[in-house]
A = this chain, B = another copy of it.
């Protein structure tokens, strides 16, 4: 049962980078440091630029279009977007069609979504970039979902890999380095670890610019 972190805490968490947070989550024994390996930034730029998205995750499970037994949703999955929250969409493995495109971005932007994270494919890359909408995904496709996948459930826990899950209410962050998922009950510890490490890293950079060997600087500053 996770306790919802405070607004203040979340606003501090937001200032760090995926790399800072990943390291903290490794220390906290979160599987794979919460790293959603394989999902990278495609819009507004390709693994480049200062764009960072951060928010609570809305999870969406896609299933094969031929799957008639899995649950269905009462409305279009994209209409579940909420202001400030980020959809994490899980597509069946190996599917070569897209489950996100330009129309959905138009709707998601209208609803105030800061971006989307697709464990699968998207399309309309130029439209995404023209709209300046951050899209993180595995790859691009030219094919829509029609005949390939359908949305089945929203806001259920989704397995990313082995014991790494994305749960509704978890926080997700994406930047040029990659994507990380932060369990809600780890936010406080992550903020503490990142804050402490940020200070050490700043001092380390300073020392390196002065010519101190990196081994010495790390030994001196990280052990302090």
Contacts and interface: CB of A to CB of B under 8 A. Distances in A.
A48 B215 contact: no
A96 interface: yes
Contact of A214 (B27, B104, B175, B180): B104
Given A48-B125, A214-B76, A178 B142 contact: yes
Given A76-B215, A126-B177, A140-B178, 13 more contacts: A22-B144, A23-B144, A26-B144, A32-B96, A33-B142, A42-B47, A46-B47, A48-B125, A78-B214, A79-B214, A106-B209, A107-B208, A140-B177
Interface string A207-218: 011010111001
A208 B103 contact: yes
Nearest to A205: B106
Question: How many copies are assembled?
Answer: 3
A76 to B, nearest CB: 3
A155 interface: no
Nearest to A201: B103
Contacts of A21: 142
Contacts of A10: none
A147 B26 CA distance: 8
A213 to B, nearest CB: 5
A19 B214 contact: no
A100 to B, nearest CB: 12
A47 B177 contact: no
A152 interface: no
B103 A143 contact: no
B26 A101 contact: no
B110 A142 contact: no
Contacts of A102: 205
A110 B76 contact: no
A85 to B, nearest CB: 16
Interface in A88-139: 96, 101-104, 106-107, 110, 123-126, 129
A50 interface: yes
A177 B123 contact: yes
A50 B143 contact: no
